[in-house]
Structure 1
Amino acid sequence: MLMNSSLRLDFLLYDVASLLRLDVQATCWYLATAGLKPFADYDDVTDDVIDAKPSADSSA
């Protein structure tokens, strides 16, 4: 009887640890993909600033 309840507790702890591990993996995946990508508006503003800056060739 004691062996059976101990075995159930082991499985419960394993399940909790597995869920936590999946949560960490999902968070890391989100940060690596959607979370850290720059917005399209930011890219457009950056391109406009780069295009508006005169280059050394055009001033000569």
Structure 2
Amino acid sequence: MPPKKGPRYPPRSIVPSWKIGRLEIVSTVRIKHRSVIAHYFKRLKAIRNSARRLVCENRIW
């Protein structure tokens, strides 16, 4: 992914965890556990929503 410069791009503190979440989805796709994949998609959505509000709280991770 090329780095975006705009309001949608999450702050630097969120980027590492966000990228790790994407890598975890790729690894869980190989293991065919749909519930696990759905869990990570919900987690990613929460991270993106919090990134828009610029909120960094431990309960998100």
* TM-score greater than 0.5 by the shorter chain: no
TM-score, structure 1 normalization: 0.37
Greater Cα radius of gyration, structure 1 or 2: 1
TM-score, structure 2 normalization: 0.36
Identify the structure with bigger relative contact order (alpha carbons < 8 Å, sequence gap 6+). 2
From the two aligned structures, give the one with the greater helix fraction.
1
